[in-house]
Amino acid sequence: TFNGTWKVERNDNYDKFMEQMGINLVKRKLAAHDNLKMTIEQSGDTFHVKEHSNFRNLDIDFTLGVTFEYSLADGTDVSGSWTIEGDMMKGVFVRKDNGKQLTTTRVVQGDELIQSYSYDGVDAKRIFKRS
């Protein structure tokens, strides 16, 4: 279900979320229009994700339930893991600079992939379409 190429179409409360993350206004304005595209290839418990945006191109490999390191586009380092519960991917990550938790989920509904983000009491969503 998650497999495929997904292009961001709209954001919900993403600016507030990034503000809570401590990202400055200029970066937030750029990030709101980052043209993020993700190609997700799942095979069993292992995932290969190709991330393309105005900021960077990145390949990420991870296994469900296994902790890995990831750097956000602004350079913030996190570590954590993804699991799957039912038809939802759930990610729990911890920021290395302040120890605070960042949670995220992915769910496919129709031709949309909805990724939610939660940090320090602020929730946001990014909605992707298959491309």
**Residue ranges that bind ligand MYR, judged by CB under 6 A:** 18, 21, 23, 49, 51, 60, 70, 72, 78, 91, 93, 102, 104, 117
Question: Between residues 91 and 108, which has the closer beta carbon with respect to ligand MYR?
Answer: 91
> Smallest distance, Å, CB 41 to ligand MYR?
11
Strand ordering across the sheet containing 57-63: 57-63, 46-52, 37-43, 4-12, 122-130, 112-119, 101-109, 88-95, 77-85, 68-71
Q: Select 52 or 70, whichever has its Cβ closest to ligand MYR.
A: 70
User: What is the distance between the alpha carbons of residues 69 and 125, in angstroms, rounded to a whole number?
Assistant: 22
CA-CA distances (angstroms) from residue 85 to 23, 106, 107, 120, 124? 31, 11, 10, 23, 20
Q: Nearest approach, Cβ of 50 to ligand MYR (angstroms)?
A: 9
Residue number, 8 or 104, with CB nearest to ligand MYR: 104
Query: Nearest distance from residue 28's CB to ligand MYR, in Å?
Result: 9
